[in-house]
Structure 1
Amino acid sequence: MATRNRFKAEVPMSELSQFSSPSSTTGSTNRQQNAPSSPWSPTFLEGILLAIYPFTLVLGSLFSVLNTTTRNTPYSGDLQSHPPNIAPSYFALKSNVFNVYFVKIGWFWITGAFFLFCFTHSSLGPRFIPTLTPRRIRALVRYTAVTAVWCAVTQWFFGPPIIDRGFRLTGGQCAIIYSDDPINNYKQNQMSDTREIFTHAACKVAGGSWRGGHDISGHVFILILGSAMLWLEILPDVLRNGGLREDRRIRMHDGAVKTAAVETHDEKGNVHVPGELGLGVRVALCIAGLSWWMLLMTAAYFHTWLEKFTGLVVAFSVIYAVYFVPRGLPALRSVLGMPGV
């Protein structure tokens, strides 16, 4: 009974074909025709999922303009937020608990949700057993690729991260913050090299302020990148669990374009369909949902329109490179694989 609950079906492909009726064949043909014609294009459901992100940014930004309280509260470009003593909402404070313990360490939560799904969902290998199956290995390669870009953009890229390098290249610098304290002013006046500080974090430690350049929204970048990665990893299993079809298209080595269903069986020709969503999928959905909420709060209370837009563009570029480009490039797909395949 336990085995039956774990899997809905594990049947050789040759046996599945014996049960195909004319009507099922027709339905299969129609599904093939309804699938996107290009391996480079997202499916209809993927398109809706990805469209949620720019829609959320627009919704939050419009709220900041149309809401009287938010609109009339002064905004500090240096702080990239409303001053804390007059913040229009609890979520407009950088010290709010969700920002401090979720967004600020967002990749910790994203990583935890990913590994929980990877090692507890039966579609990737034995549940709760750290066996490195081919599917798990490819999932880990995708995670490593996305994490490497996250690190390069926000943490370290042979020195300052890409966000800080971009800020400097667009004319930004670390400016000295003066106060009414003569002694403090004297100390700050001695910091002749303050402008040469190359990272935002070092600037704050030195008592300066990041000013003058374009600062890509790191919050928007990480919230979209992390949650979109989780969504695209779990989506094929969610769809199969609901009995929905496989619409993704891939280009084969001979140039033919087929649905990704041709690669959903194992070496023995068995179709592997999980019988339930599992803990990993549920946790990933919770993390993705909270990421969406904090993205909305970021759009409403933090950063300028352009800073949020560039954060979106950079995140989408990474997601497309890791999760969509391999569909059209068989050689790259052999390394990165595809979720659910």
Structure 2
Amino acid sequence: MPGNNRRLSGSTLANDLGNVFVETAVQIARKFLFLDTRQKALFHFILVFLVSGYAYYSPPNSEQYYIAAKNNIFNVYGTKVGWFWTLITVGPFIWLTSFLQCQNSHIKAAQHMIRLVVATAIWHFITSSFIHIERSTRRCQGAKSDDQSKCIVAGGKWIPGVDISGHCFLLIYNILIICEESLAYKNWPRNPKNSSTYVATPSEAQNYRKLTLSVQGLFIILFFFHLFWDFQLIVTCLYYHTFNHKVLGGAAAVIAWFLTYKMFFPIFPGMPNFNSHSKSS
């Protein structure tokens, strides 16, 4: 019937446009996420150094821009809960790519999730250490008080502690983790891999292709967060903390990434690029 044909044609057009959008977004994300992580680590550390240096010698007016306010929506619901976003985006991506490329093995997928567990422990340890360092180095000169306002009321002079930038650490660490984990999609095969012990059934092959769409969706989301963390890193370097504290935070992120993804993870539990010798989709 004409009406049904028009609806079918409209549905087909919508699907085609959706596929074009996804494929275009994936290709753009590939160009960005698959850059060498060593170069990215160096680039972001230099970025922190240069932007923080600019902010030190030519401080921008923080009252002029909404993004400079600590209570802006991007800071409150983005950076301040940045690790939450890492868990709910990188976590599913690791699980799904590992599960599909390890012949539907939940055990092997869980093994690859160890990378995120270790990264979470490192994030917690380092940010907690930053807080401890700040509290241990601050003091009230001329009066006995651990509170800034009480110190001033008591006639003392408040000496701030060493407040290493947890935001610089978090943002760069997030960016490098996203880049490393996105490599699982670098040579993504169109069909499930068969071996001498595993041959995918037609239904499993069809399910694989459906779940690949979810992998692509998560891949695009990781790309979005990479761009967002880049933006937030620049804002942090322009408006928050001192030069030294931002550089120390950035250095801590690069060191944490290097120790895990370049030294420990290649040994156990393994790295995310399962298909380095496979034909990509």
Pick the aligned partner of 2:115 from 126, 136, 142. 142
Correspondence for 1:340: 273
Correspondence for 2:89: 113
Q: TM-score, normalised by structure 2?
A: 0.66
8 Å contact from structure 2 (residues 45, 251) kept in 1: no
Find the aligned partners of 2:223 and 2:76 in 1 and give their Cα distance: 21
Correspondence for 1:312: 250
1:300 aligns with 2:238: yes
8 Å contact from structure 2 (residues 37, 176) kept in 1: no
Find the aligned partners of 2:258 and 2:123 in 1 and give their Cα distance: 14
Correspondence for 1:58: 49
Find the aligned partners of 1:223 and 1:267 in 2 and give their Cα distance: 43
Counterpart of 2:259 in 1: which secondary structure? helix
Pairing 1:9-28 to 2, within 5 Å after superposition = none
Counterpart of 2:183 in 1: which secondary structure? helix
8 Å contact from structure 1 (residues 110, 227) kept in 2: no
Point out the structure with the larger strand share: 1
Find the aligned partners of 1:58 and 1:285 in 2 and give their Cα distance: 24
1:125 aligns with 2:58: no
Pick the aligned partner of 2:72 from 93, 96, 102. 96
Correspondence for 1:235: 183
Find the aligned partners of 2:149 and 2:177 in 1 and give their Cα distance: 33
Counterpart of 1:95 in 2: which secondary structure? coil
8 Å contact from structure 1 (residues 326, 338) kept in 2: no
Q: CA deviation at 1:115?
A: 2.0
Q: CA deviation at 1:99?
A: 0.5
Correspondence for 2:124: 151
1:49 aligns with 2:32: no
Structure 1 pair 299–210 and aligned structure 2 pair: CA distance change class (3 A):
farther
8 Å contact from structure 2 (residues 93, 219) kept in 1: yes
Correspondence for 1:172: 138
Identity %: 21
Correspondence for 1:219: 167
Q: CA deviation at 1:312?
A: 1.0
- Give aligned pairs, total: 223
Find the aligned partners of 2:262 and 2:164 in 1 and give their Cα distance: 24
Structure 1 pair 269–285 and aligned structure 2 pair: CA distance change class (3 A):
same
Q: CA deviation at 1:153?
A: 2.2
Q: CA deviation at 1:227?
A: 2.2
Find the aligned partners of 1:267 and 1:338 in 2 and give their Cα distance: 23
Question: Structure 1: which amino acid aligns with 2:246?
Answer: K
Q: CA deviation at 1:63?
A: 4.2
8 Å contact from structure 2 (residues 68, 239) kept in 1: yes
Give per-residue Cα distances to partners, 1:87-116, cap 9 Å, x unaligned: 232221101110011011111111111123
Give per-residue Cα distances to partners, 1:230-267, cap 9 Å, x unaligned: 22111242x3259xxxxxxxxxxxxxxxxxxxxx9978
Find the aligned partners of 1:281 and 1:144 in 2 and give their Cα distance: 20
Q: CA deviation at 1:336?
A: 2.6
Counterpart of 2:271 in 1: which secondary structure? coil
8 Å contact from structure 1 (residues 60, 297) kept in 2: no
Point out the structure with the larger helix share: 2
Question: Structure 2: which amino acid aligns with 1:218?
Answer: G
Find the aligned partners of 1:326 and 1:212 in 2 and give their Cα distance: 36
Find the aligned partners of 2:231 and 2:55 in 1 and give their Cα distance: 15
Structure 1 pair 167–65 and aligned structure 2 pair: CA distance change class (3 A):
closer
8 Å contact from structure 1 (residues 166, 214) kept in 2: yes
Find the aligned partners of 2:264 and 2:250 in 1 and give their Cα distance: 21
